Amino acid sequence: MENVAGDFLALMAFIRDKFIRPVELITRSRISHVQFYAISVLRRSGSLSMSELAGEMHISKQQLTPLVYKLIDNGLLARKTDEKDRRIVRIEVTEIGRHMYEEILVEIKLALIKKLGTLPEMELNELEHMLKRTYEIMKSIY
């Protein structure tokens, strides 16, 4: 079990250094990687309150507020009053935000496809199977 944990941590560090940091360079030309992450969370979750979004992103509301306001000012996010409780303000991705997110995601996927294209088909198939299985295992833990 200790070997699996060590290998997993090594893989996570490798992904951070060789994939996440280069992805940050792709997003940085338009928005910060943290702003991209906020939009990503909202795309998956739908509209969220500031508290919910801060919780999903594992940051404080104080850290989130200027980030969200900048995205609102740029037209990528919008504030919306909760239909059930008018005291609650929800944040959601605008059409402009969705479009920009999709454009950036395409760039990220193309960069990854280029790297993966160097693998032999057999290894690519094995990787695909293992990634799906790893995702299933990780979901069952959390």
Number of Cβ within a 10 Å radius of residue 68: 20
* Domain that residue 67 falls in: 2-141
Q: Which CATH number does the domain housing residue 49 bear?
A: 1.10.10.10
**What is the pLDDT, as a whole number, of residue 65?**
95
For CA atoms 24, 27, 30, 33, the dihedral sign is: negative
Q: What is the pLDDT of residue 29?
A: 73
Mean pLDDT calculated for residue range 60-82: 94
Instruction: Name the E strands within 8-125.
Output: 48-49, 77-81, 89-93
CA atoms within 13 A on the CB side of 130: 6
Instruction: State the total domains in the chain.
Output: 1
| pLDDT for 127 | 94
Question: Positive or negative, the Cα torsion across 100, 105, 106, 110?
Answer: positive
- State the pLDDT confidence band at 97, using cuts at 50, 70 and 90: very high
**Mean pLDDT confidence for 16-37:** 81
Residue 6 has pLDDT above 90, yes or no: yes
pLDDT reading at 17 higher than 80: yes
Whole-Å CA distances, 29 to 2, 3, 36, 69, 100: 40, 39, 11, 19, 12
